[in-house]
């Protein structure tokens, strides 16, 4: 199974969806480590409850982003997530530097609660609702050095109606997040994601999905 590290900053409901799919046997992965950059993140409680190794790494304890990132790389690789593994940002509210991305090239994914490249940032759901979009959703993407940016793996769409704000839209999007993130991890583990420049191709038995008969 695919060795993964999951990075969280908050409630960790996406982390929970990964744990649940693994326990159900539909996601062939093993969480080697959960890292939180917040001491009080509820994601830590989920780690404890399921007996999964975890670490709290406070970015405020480090002098620079790079120092924090190298500590992050060290604890993830020490936990056994290396060349054959994947790092999943599940509500991890930090921009990572080349120190981190260089250590896990094309092996870091993130989930965002909007249809990127629209509405990046920490209030994706509310920003989309306030803008008045008719459709929003969520995006799983490979991570680059910009915030909520990088090749898109999968997106899910939800309808949005006049008068609905981020508080209404947020839970609807979150439900979808809990489906697409484990799916993206499973595809990665099956070796089905091929990055071609900005595009990620989904493959079936080695061939592009779109060219299947
Ligand atoms: C999720 O909605 C995730 O998409 C979002 O934070 C939430 C974390 O919830 N991430 C971002 O906004 C990234 N810019 P969770 O801790 O319950 O999984």
Q: What is the pLDDT of residues 3-41, one digit of tens each?
A: 999 999 999 999 999 999 999 999 999 999 999 999 999
CA distance 191 to 128: 33
Q: Which atom of ligand 1 is nearest to the CA of 123?
A: 12
Indicate the pTM of the whole model.
0.96
CA distance 78 to 207: 35
Pick the residue with more confidence: 209 or 171? Answer: 171
Determine if the peptide bond prior to 95 is cis (ω within 30°). Answer: no
Q: What pLDDT is attached to residue 147?
A: 95
Residues taking part in catalysis: 112
Q: In terms of C-beta density within 10 A (0-12 exposed, 13-18 middle, 19 or more buried), how is residue 146 classed?
A: exposed
Q: What pLDDT is attached to residue 208?
A: 80
Per-residue pLDDT band for 204 (boundaries 50, 70, 90) equals confident
The preferred substitution site among 14, 146, 155 for testing ligand 1, maximizing ligand atoms within 8 Å of CB, is 14
| Ligand 1 environment, Cβ below 6 A | 8, 10-14, 90-91, 111-113, 122, 124, 148, 174, 177
Under 8 Å CB-to-CB from 56, ≥6 apart: which residues? 35, 36, 37, 38, 39, 41, 44
Q: What pLDDT is attached to residue 213?
A: 57
Q: What pLDDT is attached to residue 211?
A: 65
What does the pLDDT look like over 152-172, one tens digit per residue?
Answer: 999 999 999 999 999 999 999
Q: What pLDDT is attached to residue 117?
A: 98
What does the pLDDT look like over 60-110, one tens digit per residue?
Answer: 999 999 999 999 999 999 999 999 999 999 999 999 999 999 999 999 999
């Amino acid at each position: 199974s695919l060795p993964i590290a999951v990075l969280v900053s908050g409630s960790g409901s996406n982390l929970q969806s990964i744990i649940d799919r693994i326990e159900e046997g539909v996601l062939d992965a093993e969480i080697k480590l959960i890292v939180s950059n917040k001491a009080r993140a509820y994601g830590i409680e989920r780690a404890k409850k399921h007996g999964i190794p975890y670490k709290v790494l406070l970015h405020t304890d480090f002098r620079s982003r790079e120092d924090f990132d190298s500590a992050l790389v060290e604890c993830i690789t020490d936990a056994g997530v290396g060349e054959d593994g994947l790092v999943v940002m599940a509500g991890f509210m930090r921009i990572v530097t080349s120190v981190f991305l260089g250590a896990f090239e094309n092996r870091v994914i993130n989930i965002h609660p909007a249809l990127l490249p629209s509405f990046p940032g920490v209030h994706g759901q509310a920003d989309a609702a306030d803008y008045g979009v008719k459709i929003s959703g969520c995006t799983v993407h490979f991570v680059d050095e910009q915030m909520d940016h990088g090749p898109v793996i999968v997106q899910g769409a939800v309808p949005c109606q006049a008068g609905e704000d981020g508080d209404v839209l947020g839970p609807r999007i979150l439900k979808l997040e809990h489906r697409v993130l484990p799916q993206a991890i499973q595809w990665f583990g099956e070796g089905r994601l091929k990055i071609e420049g900005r595009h990620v191709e989904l493959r079936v038995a080695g061939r592009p999905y779109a060219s299947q008969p």
